[in-house]
Structure 1
Amino acid sequence: MQRSAPATQGVAIMNKASLREAAREAREAAFEAAPHAAHDLAAQFLRALQPGRVISGYSPIGSEIDIVPLLAMLAVQGATLALPVVRKATRILEFRAWSPGDVLEAGVFGTRHPTQDAKVVTPDMVLVPMLAFDDTGHRLGYGGGYYDATLAMLRAAGSVTAVGCAFAAQRVPSLPVESNDQKLDWLVTEQDAIRFS
């Protein structure tokens, strides 16, 4: 397993608001500096992981690493793809079937998701965006807790693999952890793939 050196060593343990601000800046710099990151991430993923049968991705927002090329490759391999729909009332994501080229509609927080007539599915693999991650498998999200609540529900109901997708530069030495935080099973960047125990 190839691993890269931490690129955001200046990010110390501090309150989550400050961490989010610093992590967003690090991600934006990585986004600008890595024009081929989307294809490199796809290659690392396919080299390291056995894809799930039903895989939820995400439609990237801003400087989030672009996983659309990976989703297109997974579709060719026969995976059923889905994208999440943010449900503010429950804080549980709903997953709707999606194929590359399908129309997306605007959701909350700048998200985009399949239309209401798309089939609701249950993923066995969830690709998760983030602001930062550490070497223990914890991630820093945007503060809403949607992925944590959803992963907790999916794990309680059965087996699901949570795969974080990020730039290598989003790695930090450690993150503050709360009782409801859900760990990742894998982390894939444009440089490497890490499996957490």
Structure 2
Amino acid sequence: MTGTAPDPTEAKSRARQAALLARDLAHAAGQGAAADHLRAAIGSETGKILAGYMPMRNEIDPLPAMAAHQGPVCVPVIVGRGQPLRFREWTPDARMVRGTFGALVPAEGAWLEPDLLIVPLVAFDARGFRLGYGGGFYDRTLEILRARKPVVAIGFAFGAQELPEIPVEPVDQPLDGIVTERGVTWFR
């Protein structure tokens, strides 16, 4: 009897479904002190370029921490399938338009290269790996940014989105930390 290695794509799909259900339930309960923990985690990074994200569906909301950041803030813009993300400058009063996949993006503004990223996710594990929606945008982007300079990638999620283990492929980029309503955990 010969065994076959588990299919990481199928395993990620199953994990994604379970995590999205957990996120639905956590979102309904509210995000508690998560925004305060996120502000504290990025508070020492004054002056650095911060990339946040515009929350979609029932993602945890980073906007209060983004607005409080003492330095330039930008949000991701999907320029095409299989491409790394680009980041456009954002302010709380920026005029926003619908981008690819429905995410809001600034209608205009400078293109920035972040030093610190708040990364959305579907699930994470205690090793610092994340599961996204399956497009590979953040993995591709983090690989390129990390080849250029030191960057810090902080996942932002509800604690209920933690799974025992995320199926990992060679292209998957780990997080440096995770922030939930429970607090901050650093992996590296």
TM-score under structure 1 normalisation?
0.86
For residue 131 of structure 1, what is the aligned residue in structure 2?
122
Q: Secondary structure at the match of 1:15?
A: helix
Deviation of residue 168 (structure 1)? 0.7
Superposed CA offset, 1:28-68 (max 9, x none): 1000012x43xx12211233442351000000001100111
Aligned pairs, number: 177
State the alpha-carbon separation in 1 of the partners of residues 84 and 12 from structure 2: 22
Shift of residue 190, structure 1, vs aligned partner: 1.2
Q: TM-score scaled by structure 2?
A: 0.90
Question: Is 2:50 the partner of 1:55?
Answer: yes
Which residue, 146, 149, 160 being the options, matches 1:158?
149
Separation in 2, partners of 1:86, 1:180: 19
Offset of 1:89 from its aligned partner? Answer: 4.6
Matched, 1:188 2:179: yes
Query: Which residue of 2 is the match for residue 68 of structure 1?
Result: 63
Unaligned runs of 5+ in 2: 1-9
CA positional deviation for 1:90? 4.7
1:16 Cα deviation (Å)? Answer: 1.2
Q: Which residue of 1 aligns with 2:16?
A: 20
Q: Distance in 2 between matches of 1:165 and 1:22?
A: 18
Q: Aligned to 1:51, what secondary structure does the other structure show?
A: coil
Q: Which has the higher contact order (CA 8 A, sep 6+)?
A: 1
Q: Which residue, 124, 134, 147 being the options, matches 1:143? A: 134
CA RMSD of aligned residues (A): 1.4
The verdict on how the C-alpha distance between 1:95 and 1:172 changes in structure 2, with shifts beyond 3 A counting, is same
Match of 2:91 in 1: 99
CA gap 1:67/1:48 in 2 versus in 1, 3 angstroms: closer
- Percent identity for Structure 1 against Structure 2: 40
Shift of residue 155 of structure 1? 0.2
Q: What is residue 39 of structure 2 aligned with on the other side? A: 46
Rounded Cα–Cα distance in structure 1 between residues aligned with 2:158 and 2:71: 24
Q: Which amino acid aligns with 1:26?
A: A
Q: What is the aligned partner in structure 2 of residue 10 from structure 1?
A: none
